[in-house]
Amino acid sequence: MLSIQSAVAYGHVGNSAAVFPLQRIGVEVLPVYTVNFSNHTGYGAWRGPLIAPDQVREVIAGVEERGVFPAIDAVLSGYQGSEGIGDVIVETVARVKAANPAAVYACDPVMGNARSGCFVAPAIPVLLRERVVPVADIITPNQFELGFLTETEPDTIEATLASADLARAMGPRTILVTSVERPDRDPGTIEMMVVDDSGAWIVQTPLLPMKANGSGDVTAALFTAHYLATRDPADALARTTSSVWDLLRTTQESGERELQLVESQEFYAHPRMQFEVSRLR
């Protein structure tokens, strides 16, 4: 898997969140960095460089020159800090798929969340909607981002399914919707939903009252890997939900701000499968 994302020295977001869980479940990862920061920007202060799109392109060209593109089964991307990075990702997806037509592109269309609103530059949602999402095979938006992409307001299960269908009409066939919050859900719970050509499924977990930067990056990475391995959306949803919930629980119990990524490694390799996945259609 070729993963084009940010990197931080301290903490776990972007590739610094996605790579180790993937490796722990046996996935060979080729990480390409779009930034090299001291820490994630949620601290309000950080150091280190943005990596220019042309430099990212050069790194990927060097990987291609090693002759490995035919063996890459997936391209994964997360937060896109500039239009230039989006161009590099779209170009790379096309070249990987030319070398391996069975490869897929999984895009986490990071734009914001229901509590903070949209926190990316105004050009990024347009870039994602018009140029990036249409070439993706899998997207992993949260419920807020799904609404932003489709210019809808998903809240109920029915509305979220309808928005997912609109997103699928844009190009991607598989939609994982995270942070699904509906008015009639059980108090203190949160849900995650997957929709693909074979149907739609949902899983409910207790809501852990915490903010965890990087948890979406882990979710996108694990779901993509499990889905590619089995092509079973319900199983991929169950495994991903189990692993990520135990990661979050471990982090909460530690009292630390950063994800306890290494401490939770057995939950990636051996998910407890403690949450029931229900078919919606």
pLDDT, tens digit (0-9, with 9 covering 90-100), for 156-203: 999 999 999 999 999 999 999 999 999 999 999 999 999 999 999 999
| Amino acid identity, position 272 | R
pTM of the model: 0.96
Task: Evaluate whether residue 203 is within a structural domain.
Answer: no
- Token pair in block for residue 277: 């996945």
Residue pair 39/9 in contact by the 8 Å Cβ criterion: yes
Q: Do residues 260 and 250 make contact, with C-beta atoms less than 8 angstroms apart? A: yes
Q: Amino acid letter at 135?
A: V
Look at residue 126 in the predicted model and tell me its pLDDT: 87
The token pair at 28 is 């060979």
Cβ atoms < 10 Å from Cβ of 68: 15
pLDDT score of 88:
97
CA distance readout (Å), 262 to 80, 93, 251, 266, 276? 26, 30, 11, 9, 26
267 inside domain: no
Tell whether 227 is covered by a domain: yes
Round to whole Å and give the CA distance between 75 and 69: 10
Instruction: Report the 3 state secondary structure along the chain.
Output: CEEEEEEECCCCCCHHHHHHHHHHCCCCCEEEEEEEECCCHHHCCCCCCECCHHHHHHHHHHHHHCCCHHHCCEEEECCCCCHHHHHHHHHHHHHHHHHCCCCEEEECCCCEECCCEECCCCHHHHHHHHHHHHHCCEECCEHHHHHHHHCCCCCCHHHHHHHHHHHHHCCCCEEEEEEECCCCCCCCEEEEEEEECCEEEEEEEECCCCCCCCHHHHHHHHHHHHHHHHCCHHHHHHHHHHHHHHHHHHHHHHCCCCCCCCCCHHHHHCCCCCCCEEECC
Sign of CA dihedral 193, 14, 100, 145: positive
Half-sphere exposure of 265 (CA within 13 A, CB side): 9
CATH number of domain containing 103: 3.40.1190.20
Q: What is the per-residue pLDDT for 125?
A: 87
For residue 66, give its domain range: 2-179+212-237
What's the angle, vertex CA 69, arms to CA 65 and CA 71, rounded to 5?
Answer: 130
Q: Which among 212, 209, 172 has a CA at the least distance from the CA of 194?
A: 172
Tell me if 201 is assigned to some domain: no
Residues of the chain with pLDDT under 50: none
- pLDDT, position 113: 78
191 lies in some domain: no
Tell whether 257 is covered by a domain. Answer: no
Domain count, the chain: 1
In a domain, 248, yes or no: no
- Alpha-carbon distance of 141 to 111, in angstroms, equals 9
Say what the pLDDT of residue 103 is.
Answer: 98
Residue 15 in any domain: the answer is yes
Give the whole-angstrom CA distance, residue 266 versus residue 243.
Answer: 9
One-letter amino acid for residue 138 of the chain:
I
